[in-house]
Chain A
Amino acid sequence: MWAFGRASGFASMLLLSASVLLGILTRSGRPLVQLPRVSVSLLHRNVSLMAVVFLIFHVGALLLDSYAQLHVTDVFVPFLGSYRPFWQGLGTVALDLLAAVVVTGLLRHRIGQRTFKLVHWLSYAMWPVAIAHSVGNGTDGTSAPVVAAVVVVSVAVVAAVAWRLSAGFLETARLRQLHGQWRRP
């Protein structure tokens, strides 16, 4: 259970990072080489749900593990754990944020675009918290392969966020900017 809990946590961290990258790509409105926009959007959703599945494995396994001493309260309330409570609490915070993002994502058509989007932005807060939890709480959090993986996904996500904030981010950005210039007197 201990080993399984660690491995599934690592897998979830990688999948969440992939999901953030795909989410940013979805927002840009661009296809991914040959993959159409619809598929990028579905991939973003399905990778996210896969991350959730691995997260359920991760938390479930450690709840059943006697060494981890994880209680049901720790799944919902952060910073009360017995093993590295601060770093474990970050995991709880990330889990609670992710739960909000996933539930509002699944109910997007019912709750409306504005609420969905507002909550969906929490992903940007969730991701660094989840990464910090991986490194700070993982038994192998500072071992070479984990650090290498964290460096790779961090560079990718930071670059994607920088791209997200750049002027040419939207597929149609250049044309829409040109259009604005034509209209200006």
Chain B
Amino acid sequence: MSADSRREAAARLHIDWTRCDGRGLCAELLPEALSRDDWGFPLAAPGRLAVDADKSNVPLKHSELGAAADAVKLCPVLALRLARP
């Protein structure tokens, strides 16, 4: 994602770290936006975030909104929220 498309993010996926348990469903549904760290917790995919950007709000493309809505619905610990810009 270029700097321009980052600004044009269709929505942001907010991760509540106090709830997240690293179960990995979100990374399966959004393979281009999220990867997992060694302990299973979601990470914004490389290049998705600016260097010092907030890692709890992952910008999403328009094409990812459906999968993101599923991820919010299916997160087993309700740790996700969709934030429109």
Contacts and interface: CB of A to CB of B under 8 A. Distances in A.
Contacts of A36: 28
A38 B39 contact: no
Contacts of A42: 74
Interface stretch (A94-102, A106-114, A132-140, A158-166): A106-114
Nearest to B70: A38
Interface string B61-83: 00000000010011011100000
Given A29-B24, A38-B25, A113-B19, A175 B76 contact: no
Contacts of B70: 38
Contact of B73 (A109, A171, A172): A109
A172 B77 contact: no
Given A113-B19, A176-B39, A171 B24 contact: yes
Interface residues of B, number: 17
A175 B39 contact: yes
Contacts of B21: 29
A37 B39 contact: no
B40 interface: yes
A172 B39 contact: yes
Contact of A113 (B28, B29, B74, B78): B78
Given A26-B76, A108-B78, A112-B78, A41 B39 contact: no
A41 B40 CA distance: 17
Interface of A: 26-27, 29, 36-38, 41-42, 108-109, 112-113, 171-172, 175-176, 179
